[in-house]
Structure 1
Amino acid sequence: MQYDLEGELERRAEYDYLRTIRAVIYGGLVFAPIGNKLYKFMDTIKFPLSWQPKRLYDTMARVSFDQLVWAPVGIPLYYTSITFMEGYGIPEIKAKLREVYLDTLINNWKVWPLFQAFNFWFTPVRYRLLAVNIISIVWNCYLSIKNQLSNAKVEHSED
Structure 2
Amino acid sequence: MRGFYKIYKNLLIKYPLGVQAFQTGTLMAVGDQLAQNLVEKRQLKDLDFLRTAQFYAIGFCFGGPAVRTWYGILDKYIGSKGGLVTIKKVAIDQILFAPTFIVLLLTTIGIMQGNDATSIKNKLKNEYTDILWNNYKLWPMVQLVNFAFVPLNYQVLVVQCVAVLWNCYVSYRTNRDPIKNTQ
Give the structure 2 partner of residue 3 of structure 1: none
Is 1:97 aligned to residue 106 of structure 2? Answer: no
Shift of 1:36: 1.8
TM-score by length of 2: 0.71
Give the structure 1 partner of residue 75 of structure 2: 43
Matches within 5 A, 1:126-137: 126-137=153-164
Query: SS of the residue aligned with 2:47?
Result: coil
TM-score by length of 1: 0.81
Q: How many residues are matched? A: 142
Contact 1:67 / 1:109 at 8 angstroms: preserved in 2? Answer: yes
Give the structure 2 partner of residue 59 of structure 1: 86
Give the structure 2 partner of residue 107 of structure 1: 134
Is 1:22 aligned to residue 54 of structure 2? Answer: yes
Give the structure 1 partner of residue 173 of structure 2: 146
Contact 1:99 / 1:150 at 8 angstroms: preserved in 2? Answer: no
Shift of 1:84: 0.4
Deviations 1:39-84 (A, max 9, x none): 111112438xxxxxx8111101100111000010011111100110
Bigger relative CO (Cα 8 Å, ≥ 6 apart): 2
Letter in 1 for 2:143: Q
Q: Distance in 1 between matches of 2:169 and 2:122?
A: 19
Give the structure 2 partner of residue 4 of structure 1: none
For the pair shown, the structure with the greater C-alpha radius of gyration is 1
Is 1:31 aligned to residue 70 of structure 2? Answer: no
Contact 1:80 / 1:93 at 8 angstroms: preserved in 2? Answer: yes
RMSD: 2.3
Q: Which runs of 5+ in 1 are unaligned?
A: 1-8, 48-53
Instruction: Pick the aligned partner of 2:100 from 57, 70, 73.
Output: 73
The range that moved more, 126-135 or 92-101, is 126-135
Give the structure 2 partner of residue 50 of structure 1: none
